[in-house]
């Protein structure tokens, strides 16, 4: 809430594209977002028809890359492939996934602008080919690599979506001008209700398993 005082008027109502447009047009000095922002700021791939919704950059050559404040970014979830237990072609599906993420094939994929696939292998970060895509691509790759090493996992509990929903509503109430303490108290009450419904002991067990993973909150 305090940060909003230093942001453009109406920022509370911005969506992904609003933030992207403001940054690429040079209206904001800094932003925290997903890796594609770094590529698009340099103008990489914006000639692709599939990306015609992305505003044209006016800041190419004027952008640096860095870790977010405190140096512990979020590790995004959902970027994974799996084989269904009901599949009749499990081995073929596994082999396809293996091929798709192999060194050479995956390197080609992450260089295709319209896939929105970010670099994720050590070989991607070190690739001379990728590092030549635009003048500051090397610094971009180094920053993504460091973010992956220092990033924190999203909390993962039973009915995590319910906790996330309660938090989202709380943040919306905060931005709407409601009393911060009242918002936090209400959010805590909703969290407690979710936990009790799931089962405190069961949730503790799940939390302990999550907390033991590399990248869990310190």
Residue 132 sits in the same domain as residue 207: no
Distinct helix (H) and strand (E) counts, the chain: 10, 2
Of 126, 150, 174, the domain-final residue: 150
Residue 217, domain member (yes or no): no
Domain, as residue range, for 175: 160-211
Distance between CA 59 and CA 43 in Å, rounded? 9
Residue 177 sits in the same domain as residue 87: no
pLDDT digits 0-9 by tens, 91-138 = 999 999 999 999 999 999 999 998 889 999 999 999 999 999 999 999
User: Which tokens in the block code for residue 81?
Assistant: 């492939």
pLDDT of residue 37: 94
**DSSP for 50-68, written as a single string:** GGTTSPPPS-TTS----PP
- Which positions of the chain have pLDDT values less than 70? 77-78
Residue 216, domain member (yes or no): no
pLDDT of residue 61: 95
Residue 177, domain member (yes or no): yes
What are the φ and ψ backbone dihedral angles of 129, each rounded to 5 degrees? -65, -50
pLDDT of residue 1: 73
Instruction: Report how many domains make up the chain.
Output: 2
Distance between CA 80 and CA 154 in Å, rounded? 15
pLDDT of residue 46: 93
Residue 123 sits in the same domain as residue 179: no
Residue 11 sits in the same domain as residue 100: yes
- Provide the angle, in degrees to the nearest 10, between the axes of the packed helices 180-198 and 160-175: 170
Q: Is 75 helix (H, G, I), strand (E, B) or coil?
A: strand
What's the residue count for the chain?
Answer: 218
Distance between CA 28 and CA 155 in Å, rounded? 30
Long-range pairs for 171-179: beta carbons < 8 A, 24 or more residues apart:
174/1, 175/1, 175/4, 175/12
User: Which tokens in the block code for residue 162?
Assistant: 């319910």
Residue 143 sits in the same domain as residue 167: no
Residue 195 sits in the same domain as residue 98: no
Contact 154, 75 (CB under 8 A): yes
Residue 218, domain member (yes or no): no
Residue 77 sits in the same domain as residue 19: yes
Residue 75 sits in the same domain as residue 182: no
Contact 94, 83 (CB under 8 A): yes
């Amino acid at each position: 809430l305090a940060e909003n005082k230093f942001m453009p008027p109406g920022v509370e109502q911005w969506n992904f594209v609003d933030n992207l447009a403001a940054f690429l047009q040079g209206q904001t000095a800094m932003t925290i977002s997903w890796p594609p922002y770094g590529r698009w700021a340099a103008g990489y791939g914006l000639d692709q028809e599939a990306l015609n919704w992305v505003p044209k950059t006016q800041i190419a050559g004027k952008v640096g890359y860095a870790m977010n404040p405190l140096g512990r970014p979020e590790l995004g979830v959902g970027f994974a492939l799996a084989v269904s237990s009901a599949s009749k072609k499990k081995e073929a599906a596994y082999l396809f996934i293996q091929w798709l993420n192999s060194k050479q094939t995956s390197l080609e994929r992450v260089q295709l602008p319209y896939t929105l696939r970010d670099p994720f292998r050590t070989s991607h970060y070190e690739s001379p080919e990728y590092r030549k895509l635009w003048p500051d691509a090397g610094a971009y790759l180094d920053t993504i690599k460091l973010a992956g090493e220092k990033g924190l996992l999203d909390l993962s509990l039973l009915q995590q979506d319910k906790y996330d929903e309660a938090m989202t509503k709380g943040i919306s109430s905060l931005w709407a001008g409601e009393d911060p303490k009242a918002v936090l108290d209400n959010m805590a009450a909703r969290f407690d209700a979710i936990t009790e419904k799931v089962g405190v002991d069961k949730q503790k067990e799940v939390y302990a398993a999550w907390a033991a993973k590399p990248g869990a909150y310190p």
